[in-house]
Amino acid sequence: MPIVYEQLMALKNLGQKYSYSDRDVMLYAYGIGLGADPMDENELAFVNEGVLTPRPLKVVPTFASVAAWGAGPGEMNLNRVMVVDGERDITFHKPFATAAHITADSTVLDVFDKGKDKGAVIRHQTVLKDEKGDKLATLVASRFARGDGGFGGPSDGQPEPHKVPERAPDKVVDITTRPDQALIYRLCGDRNPLHSDPAFAKKAGFPRPILHGMCTYGITCRGVLQTYADYDPTAFKQHVARFSSPVFPGETVTMELWKDGNVVSFEAKVKSRGVTVIKSGKTVLA
pLDDT of residue 78: 86
Tens of pLDDT, residue by residue over 110-154, are: 999 999 889 999 999 999 999 999 999 999 999 999 888 999 899
How far apart CA 239 and CA 245 sit, in angstroms, is 19
In order, the DSSP letters of 163-190 are PPPSSPPSEEEEEEPPTTHHHHHGGGS-
Nearest to 210 by CA among 113, 117, 129, 277: 277
pLDDT at 102 over 90: yes
> How many residues are recorded in the chain?
286
In the sheet that 252-260 helps form, which strands lie side by side, from edge to edge? Answer: 12-20, 100-115, 119-129, 135-145, 83-92, 236-243, 275-285, 263-270, 252-260, 171-176
pLDDT at 26 over 80: yes
pLDDT at 54 over 90: no
Q: Which residues are catalytic?
A: 190, 195
Is the pTM here over 0.85, yes or no?
A: yes
Tens of pLDDT, residue by residue over 178-234, are: 999 999 999 999 999 999 999 999 988 899 999 999 999 999 999 999 999 999 999
Nearest to 60 by CA among 18, 89, 98: 98
* Mean pLDDT in residue range 71-86: 87
pLDDT of residue 1: 66
* H-run or E-run covering 27: helix 22-31
